[in-house]
Structure 1
Amino acid sequence: MSEISIEPCNGQEIKFISDGLNEFNLSQVPPLAPNWTSFDFVAKTKEGVEIGGILGGIGYWNGLEIRALWVHEKYRGMGLGSRILAYIETLARKKGAVIAMLDTFDFQAEKFYLKNGYQPIGEIKDFPMGHRRIYFSKRL
């Protein structure tokens, strides 16, 4: 083991690691979907100005994973975030998703996700220091 080096990955090596993990996971639990389905959407004004959006997707076991949801400060408090969230949840349900999952920080959108029916399932205290990282899920 002393002859092993640990180095930064290139694209091919990232794929090698991801493929290895996917192969193991799928040998343990059969997939319900053939692959990752991206659900990345941007919200625009009628003039085409980008004002927010959401990044996510559905994985092998029909879970909607929300990686990011952002609304420009000027458009917050108008229901746009809830509208974007409901949009992706509806699409995910139509594709067979049964659960949504995400994480946020207490200074970001904790109250927003609670208001939209998400349940906290865990947290990391003092990350970053003096704050919490909260993990949420919601049955679709």
Structure 2
Amino acid sequence: MKIDICNKEDIKPIVDGLNAYNLEKVSALSSIWTPLEFNIKNYNDVVVGGVLAGINYWNGLEIKILWVEENYRQQGFGSALLRHLEHEAKIRGASMAMVDTFDFQAEGFYLKHNYEVIGELKGFPKHHKRIYFSKVL
């Protein structure tokens, strides 16, 4: 046996193997991954925020990144992106949303949007915490 760095060709059998195992245990409710990726632009057509997310095969909305440029924060752009994302996810059959953030990022933002804390990693990074949220859609 040998452990080595993955190349692009190595990744597919790993992902396929995990998916096959998971689907043996619990049947899929939707296609394997439905990307939901949206941006928000200013009047000059420049991207000032966006969200990268998707729906997994058990109809869970997984939010990977939600970001708004600093000059546009506290103006409702993040809230608009999140509401749009949740709406589009519900149309496509998502029943739950999940996301993680850090205490120095968007903890208050997700709490304001009725996300529930389901776990924390204290001291990661040092003197901070990583927070895991979920929300029934």
TM-score (norm 1): 0.96
Instruction: Report what 1:84 is aligned to.
Output: 81
Matched, 1:104 2:96: no
d(CA) in 2 for partners of 1:109 and 1:101?
Answer: 14
Structure 2: gaps (5+ residues)? none
Instruction: Report what 1:75 is aligned to.
Output: 72
Equivalent position amino acid for 1:94 in 2: I
Which structure 1 residue ranges, 4+ long, deviate > 3 Å from structure 2? none
Q: Secondary structure at the match of 1:128?
A: coil
How large is the RMSD of aligned CA atoms in angstroms?
0.6
Instruction: Report what 2:52 is aligned to.
Output: 55
Equivalent position amino acid for 2:5 in 1: P
Equivalent position amino acid for 2:17 in 1: G
Matched, 1:139 2:130: no
Instruction: Report what 1:120 is aligned to.
Output: 117
Q: For this pair of structures, how many residues does the alignment match? A: 137
d(CA) in 1 for partners of 2:46 and 2:92?
Answer: 29
Q: Tell me by how many angstroms 1:34 deviates.
A: 2.0
Structure 1: gaps (5+ residues)? none
Q: Secondary structure at the match of 1:39?
A: strand
Instruction: Report what 1:19 is aligned to.
Output: 16
Sequence identity (%): 54
d(CA) in 2 for partners of 1:139 and 1:51?
Answer: 28
